[in-house]
Amino acid sequence: MKGKVVAVCISDRKGVPKKEIPAGRLIAGHGLEGDAHAGAWHRQVSLLALESIEKMQALGLKVKPGSFAENITTAGIELTALPVGTRLKVGKEVLLEVSQIGKECHTRCAIYYQAGDCVMPRKGIFARVLQGGTVRPGDEIEVLPAEEEGK
């Protein structure tokens, strides 16, 4: 299964929409350089499908890539169907590993109040950066199987 990167987005604070950038540098074991969510934890990078954003636009919401605080907006891949452990090769260099599907929101963040809803808890996924590199809109995303134990 293959898809593509539609947008790369960062913010310097958590809980706010992210802004699109022309390219981003993913750092192994850390996340997207300059992003508030980067760090040594399991949710280093967030991904959300453009198809989910378009559904919200169809409801009349004025949203775009980055509105739901995702780092990478994708197209052509049903992200929530990917099991934890699935690997994603992004562009020529980057290797991600899906670490979480969706998330629990304990409070309604600024995104919810600005957009009227937040699809990230239901439709977003999170990944660890196994191999870093540059990612930009137009890069191909290839879905790879999870690594088997003992290999």
14 in Cβ contact with 36 (< 8 Å)? yes
**Which element (helix H / strand E) includes 36?**
none
Q: How many domains does the chain have?
A: 1
Q: What are the backbone angles phi and psi of residue 141, rounded to the nearest 5°?
A: -115, 120
Note the residue count of the chain.
Answer: 151
pLDDT attached to residue 150 = 46
The verdict on residue 66 lying in a domain is yes
Q: Is residue 151, in this structure, part of any structural domain at all?
A: no
Residue 117 lies in a domain: yes
Range of the domain at 85: 2-143
Burial classification of residue 131, based on how many CB atoms lie within 10 Å of its CB (0-12 exposed, 13-18 middle, 19 or more buried): middle
* Close Cβ partners of 14 (under 8 Å, ≥ 6 residues apart): 36, 37, 69
Describe the chain by its helix, strand, coil percentages, rounded to 5: 15, 35, 50
Tell whether 33 is covered by a domain.
Answer: yes
Question: What CATH number does the domain containing 31 carry?
Answer: 2.40.33.20
pTM of this structure: 0.89
Per-residue pLDDT tens, the chain, 151 aa: give them. Answer: 799 999 999 999 987 889 999 999 999 999 999 999 999 999 999 999 999 999 888 878 888 999 888 999 999 999 999 999 999 999 999 999 999 998 666 566 555 666 555 656 577 899 999 999 999 999 999 999 887 554 4
For residue 110, count CB atoms less than 10 angstroms from its CB and return exposed for 0-12, middle for 13-18, buried for 19 or more.
Answer: middle
| 31 belongs to a structural domain | yes
Please indicate, yes or no, if residue 149 is contained in any of the structural domains.
Answer: no
Within a domain: 67: yes
In a domain, 8, yes or no: yes
